[in-house]
């Protein structure tokens, strides 16, 4: 066996071992996230019962092995566990962290992303409706983590390696996403974007009562990240 073959096999074994550890960690933390969301749903609904005239209840469920749905009023949050393991480009801030420079393999991470849709998009099967990724949680094989996303700066990349992910951090991650989704209002698209339509589109509207809808359709999204 020549040196090239040995190097390839060694790299393959190392990366496979890292991948397996990350996948195990990510599955365990996703199960913990499901419990956190379930507890949030129960606690918030108990508090909302005192305001029964609002007719508001949170609902949550596991939609397959990789997706948790959390419905909050007109909002639907989807927490999606990705199957793949990711590395960062060389310009990412993760490479400036001592935790990673000491051991570059620590940068390999799994991802749980959060997407915000309208609840009605699911209720009325409006497949053309738009959703937005509002946060993503990176977790490595050691359970170290950081979050990118709207209002998630307190758990940003500078915190990577300083502590391991747990139920407390997961709850903060979820509730920050909830708060942003609630504040992220549905706006009417600009008049010039919708003032003209065609007969085929209008017939489809009459038949299905469906039109493409998103919270910021036609507006900039990246300017909404305020504390």
Q: 90-125 pLDDT, tens per residue? A: 999 999 999 999 999 999 999 999 999 888 888 877
Q: Once rounded to an integer, what is the mean pLDDT over residues 159-180?
A: 95
Q: How confident is the model at residue 39 (pLDDT cuts 50, 70, 90)?
A: very high
The pLDDT value given to residue 227: 44
The pLDDT value given to residue 92: 95
Alpha-helical regions (H) of 63-194: 98-101, 119-123, 167-183, 191-194
DSSP state of 164: B
Exposure pattern of 191-220 as b/e (b: 16+ CB <10 Å)? eeeeeeeeeeeeeeeeeeeeeebbbbbeee
Task: With a cut of 90, say whether residue 27 has pLDDT above it.
Answer: yes
* Alpha carbons 139 and 143: distance in angstroms, whole number: 6
* Alpha carbons 201 and 96: distance in angstroms, whole number: 51
Q: What is the pLDDT of residues 89-98, one digit of tens each?
A: 999 999 999 9
Weakest mean pLDDT among 72-81, 173-182, 201-210: 201-210
Task: With a cut of 80, say whether residue 61 has pLDDT above it.
Answer: yes
Q: How confident is the model at residue 130 (pLDDT cuts 50, 70, 90)?
A: confident
Most confident of 106-110, 146-150, 209-213: 106-110
Task: With a cut of 60, say whether residue 223 has pLDDT above it.
Answer: no
């Amino acid at each position: 066996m020549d040196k090239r073959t040995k190097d390839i096999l060694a790299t393959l074994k190392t990366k496979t071992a890292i991948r397996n550890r990350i996948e195990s960690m990510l599955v365990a933390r996703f199960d913990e996230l499901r419990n956190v969301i379930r507890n949030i749903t129960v606690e918030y609904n108990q508090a909302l019962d005192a305001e029964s005239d609002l007719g508001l209840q949170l609902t949550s469920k596991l939609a397959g092995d990789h997706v948790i749905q959390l419905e909050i009023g007109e909002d639907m949050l989807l927490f999606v566990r990705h199957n793949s393991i990711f590395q960062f480009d060389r310009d990412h801030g993760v490479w400036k962290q001592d935790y990673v420079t000491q051991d570059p393999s620590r940068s390999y991470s799994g991802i749980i992303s959060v997407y915000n849709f309208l609840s009605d998009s699911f209720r009325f099967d409006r497949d053309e409706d738009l959703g937005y990724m509002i946060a993503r949680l990176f977790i490595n094989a050691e359970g170290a983590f950081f979050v990118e996303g709207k209002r998630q700066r307190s758990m940003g990349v500078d915190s990577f390696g300083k502590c391991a992910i747990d139920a407390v951090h997961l709850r903060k991650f979820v509730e920050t996403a909830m708060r942003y989704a609630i504040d992220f209002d549905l706006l009417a698209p600009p008049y010039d974007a919708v003032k003209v339509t065609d007969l085929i589109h209008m017939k489809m509207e009459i038949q299905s009562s469906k039109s493409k809808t998103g919270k910021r359709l036609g507006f900039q999204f990246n300017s909404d990240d305020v504390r």
